[in-house]
Amino acid sequence: MKAEIIAVGTEILTGQIVNTNAQFLSEQFAEIGIDVFFQTAVGDNENRLLSVIDIASKRSDIVVLCGGLGPTEDDLTKQILAKYLGRDLVFDQQAKEHLDDFFATRPQYARTPNNERQAQMVEGSTPLENITGLAVGGYLKDNGVTYVVLPGPPSELKPMVFKKLLPLLSQDEDTLYSRVLRFFGIGESQLVTILSELIENQTDPTIAPYAKTGEVTLRLSTKAVSQEAADVKLNVLENEILAIKTLEGVSLSDLHYGYGDDNSLAHVVFELLKEHNKSVTAAESLTAGLFQSSLADFSGSSQIFKGGFVTYSIEEKAKMLKIPLEDLQREGVVSDFTAQQMAKQSRLLLGTDFGIGLTGVAGPDEHDGHPVGTVFIGISTRDSLRSIRVVIGGRSRSDVRYIATLYAFDLVRQALLKG
């Protein structure tokens, strides 16, 4: 079903308040399989409100009006909707009793005749109780269109939506189920290119790519009567996606590291280290401890992370990591050699299973002929020592540092998966 959200209030148009209700409602509707195709904001004006209701009614199955339910003369929503539908306004007895109780227990508030408007609804509506305010909402079907009237304050709208509206709307809707696939090592444009045929021909399930800093996610969504039924469809699409190869011949399954909106590469590696009973340390230059602090964000990090090193100057790299200073001077601070030695020495000094070395040029100036964004990352195990060079271009200093740590985590992930 197609829904349209109409925010009523001149204060929205003048920028005095931000229309957060539209975002909230769109998210909630998506969860129950209702597509929001339009969002409109309109001022407290009878003719303009009539116009947008008329337009919405002709193109949407559900029209939701937020705001304009208060006691003042410019609170017009219910009155204008009643006029548009050719219906009267009637009192909801429960809402009227709520008004009586409110003013009876709060003598400091003067009750005026216009307060009665808050207990009114369009004739034929199912009342939506307002448990945190005074204005009753309404749910009404007329000529094939469902009209919903909600209060404007989020503190009143949200409880009404959760407790009253969503159960009503869910009765006739399949639920929307989503699965988020996370990828590292491929850009959004390349991922979209190699998935272009699937994306262009998508029906149900759908594919939505999103670019994050240093990574890409795909949200797969489908409507179904249950999680089990959704999983059948989502599994087929996921397997089809992961079997595709990049232009360089790398399978997307190798670049896919995890699931979920709230997941991260650092968390996936943290869990893998615990699962394999392995430990890690790092010696960091340009990232200034970001790799280590990312591990320490997770509860139980002491199981896999004993400590590490932050060595910015060449002298501290030599002193703290016991790397001969003349070797560092000869090879250069920003080099494969230095990244490898930082990884190796940190692992040996702390007796861990993995050692990571991070060195490079975060900016804003180049260093020893290396452009900004040049990063060398070493990884050391008991049986191997290697490094990679990446150039993280067109990024801020903080982005270079963050993406460098992602590469480091991915090196550990790959090593753990290879066993």
Element (H, E) at 271: helix 265-275
CA distance 69 to 65: 10
Q: Do residues 271 and 255 share a domain?
A: no
| 3-state SS, residue 246 | coil
CB 75 within 8 A of CB 152: no
Q: Do residues 14 and 69 share a domain?
A: yes
Considering just the CA atoms, what is the radius of gyration of the chain in Å? 29
DSSP per residue, 287-313: TTTHHHHHHHTSTTGGGTB---EE--S
Q: Do residues 107 and 88 share a domain?
A: yes
Burial class (CB in 10 A: 0-12, 13-18, 19+), 34: buried
pLDDT given at position 75: 86
Q: If you ran DSSP here, which 8-state letter would residue 125 be given?
A: P
CA distance 373 to 393: 6
Q: Do residues 22 and 165 share a domain?
A: yes
The pTM assigned to this predicted structure is: 0.71
Q: How many domains does the chain have?
A: 3
151 prior amide bond cis, ω within 30: no
| 3-state SS, residue 360 | strand
Residue-wise pLDDT tens digits, 36-95: 999 999 999 999 999 999 999 999 999 999 999 988 878 899 999 999 999 999 999 998
In the chain, which residues have pLDDT < 50? none
pLDDT given at position 373: 93
Q: Do residues 293 and 364 share a domain?
A: yes
- Structural domain boundaries enclosing 293: 266-418
Q: Do residues 122 and 241 share a domain?
A: no
Q: Do residues 236 and 296 share a domain?
A: no
CATH code for position 320:
3.90.950.20
Q: Do residues 165 and 308 share a domain?
A: no
Contacts of 409 by beta carbon, 8 Å cutoff, 6+ apart: 265, 266, 268, 269, 291, 294
CA distance 188 to 2: 29
Q: What angle do CA 254, 208, 252 make, to 5 degrees?
A: 10
Element (H, E) at 95: helix 93-104
- What burial letters (b/e) apply to 264-282, b meaning 16+ CB within 10 Å? bbbbbbbebbeeeebbbbb
- Closest to 342 measured CA to CA, from 369, 318, 375, 363: 318
Which of 259, 285, 304 corresponds to the end of one domain?
Answer: 259
Which of 201, 227, 259 corresponds to the end of one domain?
Answer: 259
CA distance 185 to 212: 12
Q: Do residues 156 and 279 share a domain?
A: no
Q: Do residues 7 and 75 share a domain?
A: yes
Q: Do residues 11 and 151 share a domain?
A: yes
